[in-house]
């Protein structure tokens, strides 16, 4: 079966009454996802030779850390996927250089910054900062990649030239569409304010609840992008254009669930998402893999609709902690209309699932701290801005470069 086959059913339209999809098609996709995630062997359909037998299994997360550390001039030794003294020393050097607490071990937030910088450099940012690399070396590039961009200086005002207007003429009635909010630009502004404040907002000292939630949104965004690269990226972590296209097309599949996101209750959306997920005839594990990849792709491409589609798929597959995503997007209006009440309820659903032992969606090692911050922030006043106010298709996202 061709990897890029789309799974369709003409009976869907805009309703949720669809015909079941052939399970074999989804099983094939699941196998592709698992193969890519475990072997990184999706480059041309022919996985490379497996690693030689070793006494202990290499950790791919550690290997990615080592690749990034070595790239930026923190000598971690061979990228063998094993945490040793040299790797810990390189991590400590990285933490000292970035003015993080020096522990010799990366937490999820630090790893996200390191890996994201590495992938950005590999994707062409190194050429943009060629002058810095020449004068300051790779560590200077790391510093530059982690500095928020400042907007260009405004042009000097120009004295207006008087224009004679014929009052008998009328202007054309041209509708002006509101520009889409950029999640990437938003997180750049959030990071700038975080640095100005001297660090992240703490749950015990929240003076700006909106900033606290913004910081957690951006941390989740960074983690989601890193996770997608781990699952579907090639050896350098780059996600293929085919995968990005498949995730973008997936929005149409999930559109019936997204249309009423801001006007219906989260409980109704969850029930609809769970019923919708059954129509794929696919194991929850395969749906989760697709959802995680497309979630990160949506953030990487700054496409909020892709993010929302992926989040609804994950929630439909039983992953309630991803309700946090819906809370953030409804709070800020990313890909949907702001709705203060629904945003708070989505946050509560995600927090409640964690309280009952669900696996965290983002930054697992910091889940308790993050939950405390989110809970404290949504209970504070004036948190939510804007309070006044088909075919059945699963993306084939396993085929990396």
d(CA 104, CA 314): 34
The verdict on pTM exceeding 0.85 is: no
d(CA 62, CA 150): 33
| Largest pairwise CA distance in the chain | 87
Name the CA dihedral angle for 282, 286, 290, 292, rounded to a multiple of 10 degrees. 130
Place of tokens 């951006």: 218
Low-confidence ranges of the chain (pLDDT < 70): 1-56, 125, 148-180, 234-237, 382-401
- The set of residues, in sequence order, having a beta carbon less than 8 Å from that of 382 and lying 6+ positions away, is 209, 210
pLDDT at 343: 96
pLDDT at 288: 95
pLDDT at 3: 29
SS (HEC) of 324-360: HHHHHHHHHCCCCCCCHHHHHHHHHHHHHHHHCCCCC
pLDDT at 235: 62
pLDDT at 399: 47
Q: Which of 364, 271, 347, 377 is nearest to 315 (CA)?
A: 271
Angle between helical axes of 340-355 and 266-278 (0-180°, round to 10): 60
Report CA torsion sign: 215, 217, 221, 223.
positive
d(CA 392, CA 50): 36
d(CA 134, CA 140): 9
User: Judging by beta carbons within 10 Å of its beta carbon (0-12, 13-18, 19+), is residue 266 exposed, middle or buried?
Assistant: buried
Q: What are phi and psi of 236, to 5 degrees?
A: -95, 5
pLDDT of 321-336, one tens digit each? 999 999 999 999 999 9
pLDDT at 373: 96
pLDDT at 112: 87
User: Judging by beta carbons within 10 Å of its beta carbon (0-12, 13-18, 19+), is residue 263 exposed, middle or buried?
Assistant: exposed
pLDDT at 330: 97
Q: Which of 255, 250, 247, 248 is nearest to 16 (CA)?
A: 255
d(CA 327, CA 350): 9
């Amino acid at each position: 079966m061709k990897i890029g086959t789309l799974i369709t059913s003409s009976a869907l339209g805009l309703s949720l009454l669809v015909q079941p999809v052939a399970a074999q098609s989804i099983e094939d996709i699941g196998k592709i996802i698992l193969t890519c995630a475990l072997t990184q062997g999706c480059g041309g359909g022919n996985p490379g030779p497996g690693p030689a037998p070793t006494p202990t299994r290499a950790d791919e997360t550690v290997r990615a850390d080592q690749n990034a550390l070595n790239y930026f001039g923190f000598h971690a030794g061979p990228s063998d996927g094993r945490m040793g003294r040299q790797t810990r020393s390189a991590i400590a050097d990285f933490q000292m250089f970035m003015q993080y607490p020096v522990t010799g071990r990366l937490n999820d937030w630090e790893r996200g910054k390191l890996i994201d910088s590495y992938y950005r450099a590999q994707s062409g940012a190194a050429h943009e900062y060629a002058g810095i690399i020449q004068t300051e070396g790779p560590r200077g590039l790391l510093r530059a990649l982690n500095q928020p961009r400042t907007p260009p200086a405004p042009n000097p005002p120009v004295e207006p030239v008087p224009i004679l207007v014929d009052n008998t003429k009328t202007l054309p009635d041209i509708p002006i569409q509101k520009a889409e909010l950029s999640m990437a630009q938003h997180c750049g502004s959030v990071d700038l304010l975080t640095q100005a404040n001297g660090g992240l907002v703490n749950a015990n000292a929240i003076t700006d609840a909106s900033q606290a939630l913004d910081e957690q949104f951006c941390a989740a965004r960074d983690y989601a992008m890193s996770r997608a690269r781990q699952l579907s990226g090639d050896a350098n972590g780059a996600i293929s254009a085919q995968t990005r296209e498949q995730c973008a097309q997936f929005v149409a599949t999930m559109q019936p669930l997204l249309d009423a996101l801001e006007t219906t209750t989260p409980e109704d959306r969850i029930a609809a998402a769970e019923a919708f997920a059954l129509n794929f005839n696919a194991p929850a594990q395969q749906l989760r893999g697709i959802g995680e990849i497309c979630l990160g792709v949506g953030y990487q491409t700054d496409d909020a609709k892709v993010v929302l589609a992926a989040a609804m798929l994950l929630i439909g597959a039983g992953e309630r902690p991803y309700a946090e995503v819906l809370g953030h997007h409804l709070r800020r209006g990313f890909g949907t209309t702001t709705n203060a009440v629904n945003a708070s309820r989505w946050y509560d659903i995600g927090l409640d699932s964690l309280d009952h032992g669900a696996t965290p969606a983002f930054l697992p090692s910091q889940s308790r701290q993050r939950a405390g911050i989110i809970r404290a922030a949504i209970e504070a006043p004036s948190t939510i801005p804007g309070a006044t106010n088909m075919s059945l298709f699963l993306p084939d996202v396993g085929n990396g470069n």
